[in-house]
Amino acid sequence: MEFNHKSVLLHETIENLNIKPDGIYVDGTLGGAGHSLEIVKRLSDKGRLIGIDQDADAIAAAKERLSNYASKVTIVRSNYAAMKDELLKLGITKVDGILLDLGVSSFQLDTPERGFTYRETDAPLDMRMDQRQTLTAKDIVNDYSEQDLYRIIRDFGEDRFAKNIAKHIVEARKTKEITTTGELIEIIKASIPMKVQKSGGHPAKRTFQAIRIELNKELEVLQDNLDTMIDLLDEGGRFCIITFHSLEDRIVKTSFRKNENPCTCPKEFPVCVCGKVSKGQVVTRKPILPSEEELCYNKRSKSAKLRVFERHLNK
């Protein structure tokens, strides 16, 4: 199957990475290598790109797409949470730019057997980005308590019918284990008033998103690793992050601000005594959003936000 994925905010991201031809760049969410291809095209023979993804299908697609630039590219199957260690294995301690384009690729969504899509009715409830992981969406749906299901559907899916959906899931699994996306979709539909189902988007979209975020620990991984990634940047190095969820965006915005101004001294103190030093500067006070044109040809860009941070070593 062809790896179909239209890269989001491509031009804006490449422009903001300020690519130095001899620099070292890391794409922590390589996917189909749409962004990476544009990075590597701008590198000299001395420049280097390290592409990381946890998904075996993405790795295979990216290898193929970047094959003409193989001498400048290293592709690693890993979680970006392990970026520092993966770079150390390659003898790299500082880089000139990092990109994260979060969430799932269209390829993952469009491959029914991966279980991400709410449009297929006979797919297994999987949703693992890393196929080596043992926990799947089926485990969450069948083993989580009603309270935990409610919490994730409410917080990660922002679904106003979260309580009812969680109740219906727990009720349904009493008679039979829920194993397919189709079964889950029917349960969700039964939890949402018909009038709402007809007016909004797909009734299962939010619950599927919630389970995916929970299963792949998407927010935790982001929250826990931003500081380490900022530390990997060399003087003037840029960190570009594209988010698709309000909670993701809040994590990035808060972390970038904190790294720009980490001082914890009370406001009335005339000078800083906490000793916390700024690591750089937020480049985007407001996030960069997709253009009208991009919104027209790429529906997936609808909720995308790009934020950029620039590292300064001696501020």
Ligand X SMILES: C[S@@+](CC[C@H](N)C(=O)[O-])C[C@H]1O[C@@H](n2cnc3c(N)ncnc32)[C@H](O)[C@@H]1O
Give the binding site for ligand X (CB under 6 A).
5, 7, 29, 31-35, 52-55, 58, 79-80, 101, 103-105, 129, 221
Nearer of residues 107 and 256 to ligand X, judged by Cβ: 107
Q: Which of 63, 66, 99, 60 is nearest to 83 (CA)?
A: 99
Nearer of residues 184 and 226 to ligand X, judged by Cβ: 226
Nearer of residues 129 and 172 to ligand X, judged by Cβ: 129
C-alpha 190/C-alpha 198 separation (Å) is: 13
In angstroms, give the least distance from the CB of 52 to ligand X: 6
Bridge-based pairing of strands 280-282 and 305-311 is antiparallel
Residue by residue, DSSP assigns 107-172 as: HHHH-GGGS--SS-SS-BS---SSTT----HHHHHHHS-HHHHHHHHHHTT--TTHHHHHHHHHHH
In angstroms, give the least distance from the CB of 29 to ligand X: 3
In angstroms, give the least distance from the CB of 108 to ligand X: 6
In angstroms, give the least distance from the CB of 205 to ligand X: 17
Name the token pair of 311.
Answer: 């590292």
- The single-letter code of the amino acid at 152 is I
Nearer of residues 66 and 166 to ligand X, judged by Cβ: 66
- Strand, helix or coil for residue 27: strand
Nearer of residues 80 and 256 to ligand X, judged by Cβ: 80
Q: Which of 188, 190, 217, 224 is nearest to 204 (CA)?
A: 188
In angstroms, give the least distance from the CB of 20 to ligand X: 20
Nearer of residues 30 and 166 to ligand X, judged by Cβ: 30
Nearer of residues 168 and 212 to ligand X, judged by Cβ: 212
In angstroms, give the least distance from the CB of 147 to ligand X: 27
Alpha helices in the chain (DSSP H): 10-17, 34-41, 56-65, 83-89, 106-110, 137-143, 146-155, 162-173, 181-191, 194-199, 205-215, 218-232, 246-260, 292-297
In angstroms, give the least distance from the CB of 33 to ligand X: 6
